[in-house]
Amino acid sequence: MDYQHQRLAAGAHDRIAVRRRDDAWLEERWADPDTRVLVVSGTRVRPRDGRIPWVTAQEAPDGVRVLLGENDGRAWFALVTGPEAAQEAKDEWFPLRGVLPHLAGDGLAQAPLVFHALGLAEWLWATRYCPRCGEPLAPRAAGHELACPHGHVQFPRSDPAVIMVVTSGEPGSADERCLLGRQASWPEGRYSTLAGFCEPGETLEDAVRREVLEETGVVVGDVEYFGNQPWPLPASLMLGFIGRAVSEVINVDNDEIDDARWFTRADMKAGAEVGELVLPGGVSISRSLVEHWYGGPLPGQW
């Protein structure tokens, strides 16, 4: 099966980290008319005509230059400015979650570049003072490091988050079921796989078991790795798993999860076809997990 979450990272650019401190090379590539730049206002970009707009370096405003890398024989940068432009035209500038629909179809080829750009923009926005001495931080290494006057250096972080489809019953049988949950703030009928962050000193498999137990009361035994997806919203790496339940009684926490249900494949198909069950979007690893268990594409999405 062709999973769109895998296509988000397909054809990833060469990040050429060895060039991040090469000022002469960076200036040469910035002056190259073939170089392309994504302008980011704070943490938002401005899609145009349903596409992500890349401009030449000569068309870019002033700001922090972030080297993304090389792809298709040219250099790619992000140019991170202050949030003023996005604040003045809020309906035109979108954070990464609002940009995802513009990455569908032909836009998937640029997804790794956009994820890289907005992930670093989020980090630059949130990390302004040194956590050790409180002094202001300044970017260096083409936007991939922040340093204070005392020489303390900060690097971008990605938080590991687990996301899982939990199954029960004889695998492949008509009675096999999978567990989906929903938050109270979601529109009626919207359900998704469970997810949560890995805690210090915890394996990924134990994070799956803990999160499912905390949110739904269901006990998980065997856990199998499925795949991963960059998810800089604002700084996560989503690690997908398939868990086998050893209990089926649901007791939701009424905090993160408002409702959780077991769905057979027939339940899922019928609900999705009439719109009573609305599943995650096609570019998410959540959708891939569900359709992997189901065995094929399903109608409808967020």
163 and 42 in one domain?
no
70 and 185 in one domain?
no
98 and 38 in one domain?
yes
**HSE-up (13 A, CA, CB side) for residue 282:** 16
173 and 72 in one domain?
no
**HSE-up (13 A, CA, CB side) for residue 36:** 15
Here the CATH number for the domain that contains residue 85 is: 3.90.79.20
Q: Is residue 301 part of a domain?
A: no
Here the CATH number for the domain that contains residue 234 is: 3.90.79.10
Lookup: tokens for 1: 């099966």
Q: What is the pLDDT of residue 260?
A: 98
Q: What is the pLDDT of residue 9?
A: 64
Residue 102, classed as helix, strand or coil, is helix
User: Which of 128, 154, 180 lies at the terminal end of a domain, its last residue?
Assistant: 154
* DSSP E strand stretches across 208-302: 220-231, 236-245, 259-264
Asked whether the beta carbons of 234 and 223 are under 8 A apart, the reply is no
144 and 175 in one domain?
no
Q: Is residue 51 part of a domain?
A: yes
Q: What is the pLDDT of residue 209?
A: 98
218 and 131 in one domain?
no
Which of 195, 204, 120 lies closest to 157, judged by CA? 120
Rg (CA), the chain: 21
Q: Is residue 299 part of a domain?
A: no
Residue 117, classed as helix, strand or coil, is helix
Q: Is residue 25 part of a domain?
A: yes
User: Which of 122, 154, 186 lies at the terminal end of a domain, its last residue?
Assistant: 154
145 and 62 in one domain?
yes
73 and 13 in one domain?
yes
What pLDDT digit, counting tens, does each position of 65-75 carry?
999 999 999 99
pTM: predicted TM-score of the whole model, two decimal places? 0.87
124 and 172 in one domain?
no
The neighbour count for residue 51, using CB atoms within 10 Å, is 13
Asked whether the beta carbons of 279 and 301 are under 8 A apart, the reply is yes
281 and 177 in one domain?
yes
Domain span at residue 201 reads 159-294
Q: What is the pLDDT of residue 281?
A: 83
- Block mean pLDDT (10 aa), the chain, length 302: 65 93 98 98 94 95 97 96 95 91 76 94 96 97 98 96 97 96 95 97 98 98 96 92 98 93 97 95 89 94 79
Asked whether the beta carbons of 99 and 47 are under 8 A apart, the reply is yes
Q: Is residue 55 part of a domain?
A: yes
Question: What backbone phi and psi angles, to 5 degrees, belong to 186?
Answer: -80, 150
List Cα–Cα distances, 72 to 76, 95, 265, in angstroms: 10, 26, 42
Q: Is residue 111 part of a domain?
A: yes
Which of 8, 11, 10, 81 lies closest to 40, judged by CA? 81
79 and 171 in one domain?
no
Q: Is residue 206 part of a domain?
A: yes
Distance of CA 238 to the CA centre of its chain: 7
Q: Is residue 302 part of a domain?
A: no
112 and 189 in one domain?
no
Q: State the total domains in the chain.
A: 2
Residue 187, classed as helix, strand or coil, is coil
User: Which of 109, 126, 154 lies at the terminal end of a domain, its last residue?
Assistant: 154
Asked whether the beta carbons of 80 and 44 are under 8 A apart, the reply is no
